[in-house]
């Protein structure tokens, strides 16, 4: 009996498009994006508010995060644990986050309980109780979280990288959830003031994704229609580069046998006309397992278990970063090898590299957006950064047309090896000598938690 079978033909990756939403607007000014996704019976409802981290008073940075984390601890209508019990009774899950671009409150719920979920979500957003005990507890939890963060080498390297790349006056250069000195100062009054000023429908977008009932828009209006507008819009921060860059910094962890490494610099945002080409380039250089950085640093040199690189866009500008970890004795040569690999001017991307990157980026899209929650998350990023709902599909079409020459030119213009900062967290006594031998004169710095 012949058990052989014909190998299936692998087809070229094609442009996959995201479902377009129905877009309307409530009378209070909030936008409404409805994504109708047949078969997705768990609805994702998200409220994206124009409340970026840059709106926080400098003395109490972290209050935006405490406002989100405390918002479901009780409301005016459901005080204390009654709110959590009401959410649990309908099989819903609530969460939220404060981002550089916006503040997001979200709820996932079975479609049969959508009306009740929207009422509770609106209640959580518009009428949180913010009891002093709850705010104090979340403040203390954040302080404990900071202590845990400062004990991790990878986290220290990332904080150091932010400090190295961005101007000291920019909010993006500091921890999103605040530092010890600012979090300690947060009071219930600070949280209430931030909420009352910035949690408003002005500039907000309400997103629903899933198999929506025909009256979904009416349900949203019934829940959020009475949400009162404020009298001002957020002033989004203009992100600036660190004028002292490039720098080579070592964060000392005496006795560490491993070093965490970050290499990168100031970069573009999603509005850059070369963004599609940069996505193909970053995938080829360090965004996939077969990328240049991973192939050389892991497979050929054996310095690391893996290396990753990519652009991290913000509402204004952003960064490019290479990140990896390796044994202390090879950290310096690993840094030098990574910097050399980023010189795409001397070694442009090949047609095969560009094809592989395009295929990966286009092919992964259907897997990324299998659930209503994933689609709502993407929509919330677009809404929070002021981009239209059509932006993702436009990018997919542009990515499909990027050539190797275009990817090389875009990357060479955005990432100049001589302008990149290097940050390592590890044993300074061992790292400094090795870095100097690689032509990287380093300075030991401390991280302010």
pLDDT for position 429? 95
**Ranges in the chain annotated CATH 3.30.830.10:** 22-224, 248-445
pLDDT for position 188? 98
Classify burial at 145, counting beta carbons within 10 Å of its beta carbon; exposed 0-12, middle 13-18, buried 19 or more: middle
pLDDT for position 4? 66
pLDDT for position 184? 98
Q: Which letter does DSSP use for residue 405 in this model?
A: H
pLDDT for position 1? 52
Q: Facing residues of 172 across strands?
A: none
248-445 falls under which CATH superfamily?
A: Metalloenzyme, LuxS/M16 peptidase-like (3.30.830.10)
Whole-model pTM? 0.93
d(CA 446, CA 449): 9
pLDDT for position 3? 60
Closest to 96 in 3D by CA, of 129, 121, 123, 61: 121
pLDDT for position 234? 87
d(CA 287, CA 281): 9
Q: Residues near 266 by Cβ (< 8 Å), separated by ≥ 6?
A: 165, 166, 241, 242, 245, 317, 318, 319
pLDDT in tens, the chain (449 residues): 556 678 887 777 789 899 999 999 999 999 999 999 999 999 999 999 999 999 999 999 999 999 999 999 999 999 999 999 999 999 999 999 999 999 999 999 999 999 999 999 999 999 999 999 999 999 999 999 999 999 999 999 999 999 999 999 999 999 999 999 999 999 999 999 999 999 999 999 999 999 999 999 999 999 999 999 987 788 889 999 999 999 999 999 999 999 999 999 999 999 999 999 999 999 999 999 999 999 999 999 999 999 999 999 998 999 999 999 999 999 999 999 999 999 999 999 999 999 999 999 999 999 999 999 999 999 999 999 999 999 999 999 999 999 999 999 999 999 999 999 999 999 999 999 999 999 999 999 998 87
Ordered DSSP codes for 123-187: HHHH-B---HHHHHHHHHHHHHHHHHHHT-HHHHHHHHHHHHHB-TTSGGGS-TT--HHHHHT--
- Secondary structure of residue 92 in the 3-state scheme: coil
d(CA 93, CA 84): 9
CATH code of 22-224, in short, is 3.30.830.10
pLDDT for position 431? 97
């Amino acid at each position: 009996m012949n058990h052989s079978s014909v190998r299936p033909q692998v087809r070229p990756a094609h442009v996959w498009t995201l479902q377009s939403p129905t877009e309307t607007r409530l009378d209070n000014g909030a936008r409404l994006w409805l994504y109708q996704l047949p078969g997705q019976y768990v609805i994702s409802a998200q409220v994206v508010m124009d409340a970026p981290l840059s709106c926080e008073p400098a003395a109490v940075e972290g209050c935006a995060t405490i406002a989100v984390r405390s918002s479901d601890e009780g409301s005016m209508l459901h005080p204390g644990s009654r709110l959590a019990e009401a959410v649990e009774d309908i099989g819903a899950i609530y969460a939220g986050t404060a981002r550089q671009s916006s503040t997001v409150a979200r709820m996932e719920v079975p479609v049969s309980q959508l009306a009740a979920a929207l009422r509770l979500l609106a209640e959580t957003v518009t009428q949180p109780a913010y009891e002093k005990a709850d705010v104090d507890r979340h403040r203390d939890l954040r302080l404990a979280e900071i202590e845990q963060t400062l004990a991790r080498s990878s986290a220290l390297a990332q904080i150091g990288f932010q400090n190295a790349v961005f101007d000291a006056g920019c909010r993006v250069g500091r921890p999103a959830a605040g530092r010890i000195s600012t979090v300690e100062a947060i009071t219930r009054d600070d949280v209430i003031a931030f909420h009352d000023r910035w949690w408003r429908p002005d500039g907000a977008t309400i997103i629903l994704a899933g198999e929506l009932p025909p009256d979904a828009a009416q349900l949203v209006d019934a829940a959020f229609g009475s949400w009162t507008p404020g009298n001002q819009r957020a002033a989004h921060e203009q992100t600036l580069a660190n004028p002292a860059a490039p720098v080579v910094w070592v964060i000392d962890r005496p006795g560490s046998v491993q070093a965490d490494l970050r290499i990168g610099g100031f970069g573009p945002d999603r509005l850059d006309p070369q963004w599609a080409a940069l996505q193909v380039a970053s995938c080829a250089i360090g965004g996939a397992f077969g990328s240049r950085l991973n192939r050389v640093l892991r497979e050929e040199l054996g310095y690391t278990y893996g290396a990753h690189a990519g652009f991290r866009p913000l509402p204004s500008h952003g960064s490019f970063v290479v990140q990896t970890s390796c044994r202390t004795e090879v950290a310096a040569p690993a840094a030098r090898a990574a910097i050399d690999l980023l010189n795409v001017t001397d070694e442009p991307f090949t047609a095969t590299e560009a094809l592989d990157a395009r295929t990966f980026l286009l092919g992964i899209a259907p897997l990324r957006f299998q659930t209503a929650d994933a689609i709502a998350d993407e929509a919330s990023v677009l809404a929070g950064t002021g981009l239209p709902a059509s932006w993702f599909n436009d990018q997919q079409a542009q990515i499909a047309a990027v050539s190797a020459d275009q990817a090389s030119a875009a990357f060479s213009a955005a990432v100049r090896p001589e302008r990149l900062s290097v940050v390592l967290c590890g044993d300074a006594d061992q790292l400094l000598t090795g870095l100097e031998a690689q032509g990287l004169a380093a300075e030991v710095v401390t991280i302010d938690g």
